């Protein structure tokens, strides 16, 4: 029986040892798995952190671009690289064409790197000046007249009578040609909107102020004027009657011409600009330069000759024998745009 008991004890010991070995192996395996899971979890956390930093850097880069479009051509140092949280980032800019760009943001946490690509478009503020007439509102051409270098309306265009558009006639809404109205180029509806350019009023005010050419209150011009510094700035309305002005006239209100006026601005600059009011031509006048409204309409009736271009915030309305526009490119001082359009956000 002792021998038997000894055998039983031996068998029990072997069994217990076997199970203890299995438990040890299992514990060892669990330890390896836990260490692997902890490493995997750590990598997942770092990957998520790197992604958030890359996204934050991309948004930071876009904010720099909105603040100053020149950061597309020459990014500032803070935009190009830096530290966010517990990681570092780098931002690159690629230009794909006129107005289109790509922003690539790369972020690293330890040795984990994530990238985000953003494709956007910034407005070409000077595109409006590439047309003889650009209207942010409706464009109405009735009667007799000629416009060089085409027209565009961000709303609707309606041409009726003996209207001759030398170039394309496009609208973001509808474009209609009635009577003997015609265009030598393409007539199109549903065209992309064109960004309305914002004149830098402060720039011109400062020039006028530096030369004593700021006038507060309504002003009537009759006779000859040559503003010192080239800019007359009127805080109010302006009326012209058989006036001759060698320079620019800017006003905060309405500009109204009563005929036989000659205004000649420096090359590419505004001849007449009304910040909040309308511009109204009543008679036979000659204007060399840009005709611009920042908040009102332009009315053309009477035989007015414009050499330059017309950019109007509201409606461009011409009727009767309203004259001719010989296109000349304008290049005034503008404020920087504060909007960009995001086309694709690629994660």
pLDDT, tens digit (0-9, with 9 covering 90-100), for 288-325 = 999 999 999 999 987 899 999 999 999 999 988 877 89
- Any bridge partners for residue 100, and if so which? 97, 121
Residue 155: what pLDDT? 97
What is the rounded (10 degree) CA torsion for 250, 260, 151, 277? 40
Question: What are the pLDDT digits (tens) for 12-21?
Answer: 333 433 333 4
Using only C-alpha atoms, the chain has a radius of gyration, in whole angstroms, of 35
Residue 40: what pLDDT? 56
Residue 338: what pLDDT? 56
Range list of H helices, 91-200: none
Residue 125: what pLDDT? 73
Cα–chain center distance at 299: 28
Domains of the chain by start residue, with CATH: 2-123+340-346 (3.30.1300), 127-327 (no CATH)
Q: Rounded to whole angstroms, how far apart are CA atoms 346 and 56? A: 14
Could you tell me the CA-to-CA distances from 305 to 151, 153, 263, 299 in Å, in that order?
Answer: 17, 21, 11, 13
Residue 321: what pLDDT? 80
pTM: 0.70
Ranges of the chain whose pLDDT falls below 70: 1-40, 97-98, 123, 336-339
């Amino acid at each position: 029986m002792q021998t038997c008991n000894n055998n039983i004890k031996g068998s029990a010991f072997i069994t217990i040892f076997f199970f203890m070995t299995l438990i040890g192996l299992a514990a060892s395996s669990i330890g390896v798995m836990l260490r692997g899971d902890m490493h995997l979890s750590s990598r997942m956390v770092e990957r998520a952190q790197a992604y958030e930093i890359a996204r934050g850097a991309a948004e930071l880069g876009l904010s720099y671009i909105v603040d100053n479009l020149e950061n597309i051509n020459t990014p500032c140092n803070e935009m190009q690289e830096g530290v966010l949280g517990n990681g570092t980032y780098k931002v690159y800019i690629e230009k794909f064409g006129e107005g289109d760009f790509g922003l690539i943001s790369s972020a690293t946490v330890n040795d984990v790197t994530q990238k985000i690509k953003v494709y956007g478009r910034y407005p070409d503020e000077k595109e409006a000046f590439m047309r003889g007439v650009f209207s942010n509102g409706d464009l109405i051409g009735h009667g007799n007249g000629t416009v060089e270098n085409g027209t565009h309306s961000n709303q609707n265009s309606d041409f009726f009578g003996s209207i001759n558009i030398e170039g394309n006639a496009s609208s973001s809404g509808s474009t209609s040609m009635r009577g003997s109205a015609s265009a030598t180029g393409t007539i199109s509806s549903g065209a992309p909107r064109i960004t309305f350019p914002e004149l830098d009023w402060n720039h011109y005010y400062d020039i006028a102020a530096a030369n004593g050419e700021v006038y507060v209150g309504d002003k009537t011009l009759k006779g000859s004027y040559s503003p010192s510094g080239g800019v007359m700035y009127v805080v109010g309305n302006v009326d012209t009657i058989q006036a001759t002005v060698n320079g620019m006239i800017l006003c905060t209100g309405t500009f109204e011409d009563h005929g036989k006026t000659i205004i000649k601005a420096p090359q590419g600059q505004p001849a007449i600009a009304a910040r909040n009011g309308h511009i109204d031509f009543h008679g036979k006048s000659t204007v060399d330069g840009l005709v611009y409204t920042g908040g009102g309409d332009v009315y053309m009736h009477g035989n007015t000759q414009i050499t330059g271009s017309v950019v109007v915030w509201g409606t461009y309305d011409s009727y009767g024998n309203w004259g001719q526009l010989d296109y000349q490119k304008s290049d005034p001082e503008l404020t920087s745009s504060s909007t960009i359009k995001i086309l694709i956000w690629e994660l």
